[in-house]
Amino acid sequence: MGGSGKTTTSINLAGALGNYNKDFEVLLVDTDPQGTATEGTGFTDVYHSEDVSLYDVLTDIDEQQKVNDLILSHEEFDVLPSHELMFGVERELQSSPKTEERLDGVLDALERSYDYVILDTPPHLGPLTNNALVTADGLVVPAKPVRRSIRALETLFEQVGIIEKHFSSIDRLGMLVNDIQYPVDGDTQEMLDWFTRFEDGLGVYQIRNRVAIKRAWNNGVSIFGHEEECDMEEVYDEFATDIVAGTRQEMIIDE
């Protein structure tokens, strides 16, 4: 489901992990063909470049080692950007061997060791999201406090169950409910209550609508790299602290 705050969550969680410990090596991987995380970290030019890209290393096993040439240095963390050619990846993967394990192979080819890898996925289920689910240790679920989120979450967890039958299990790390407007009305409160009850053991973190988050995005950084103070830093910091306590390395940010 698009519009859930998936990419904003990815960028700010990467920033939160880097802020938690300045020695942490964090990588943000943009697997979304729309390249929103690539744009949101200031690398729009790379998205349109004619050089080797994530598309090439995902569709050609012999090219996987070239992923090391694609890593870009951001002021807060590293970025593996998407590319406009990524719109053709899912079609290519559907007829390729080890369809669901291409991303895992690409990340295994990394020469640099990362403490945490954040996987930003497309806003729909398909081969690219399946690749992220197979690769990740844990799942982070962004959502909006609206009724249409219910079916989207149910569908997502059905797909997670299918993946887990054939590959390794995936920890549910937490749900970030984004863009909450206060004071909340009755419908919003009902949804917040539903999220809290949705699944035992799934932490729910509430992200209020804040202009500072949007301004940080416009400046190509997380709220931790933005000069303007924002009270939502505390929420992201709490989530990062909980993730570190669970010692999970690779996380998928899904709808």
pLDDT, one tens digit per residue, over 116-161 is 999 999 988 899 999 999 999 888 888 887 887 878 888 888 898 9
Rg (CA), the chain: 17
* Average pLDDT rounded to a whole number, residues 63-85: 97
Candidate ranges 38-42, 135-139, 192-196, 204-208; pick with highest mean pLDDT: 38-42
Residue identified by tokens 């990419």 is: 7
Tell whether the model's pLDDT for residue 66 goes beyond 90.
yes
Beta bridge partners of 74: none
Residue identified by tokens 């940010």 is: 253
The correct answer on CATH 3.40.50.300 for the domain covering 6-253 is yes
Q: Which residues contact 52 (CB under 8 A, 6 or more apart)?
A: 63, 66, 69, 70
Beta bridge partners of 30: 120
Tell whether the model's pLDDT for residue 179 goes beyond 80.
no
The percent of residues above 90 in pLDDT, for the chain, comes to: 57
Tell whether the model's pLDDT for residue 251 goes beyond 70.
no
* Better-scored residue on pLDDT, 201 or 227: 227
pTM more than 0.75: yes
Measured CA to CA in angstroms, residue 211 lies from 16, 19, 185, 228 at distances of 18, 21, 20, 10
Beta bridge partners of 233: none
pLDDT at 1: 46
**Extents of the domains making up the chain:** 6-253
Tell whether the model's pLDDT for residue 58 goes beyond 60.
yes
Tell whether the model's pLDDT for residue 248 goes beyond 80.
no
Specify the 3-state DSSP secondary structure of 51: coil
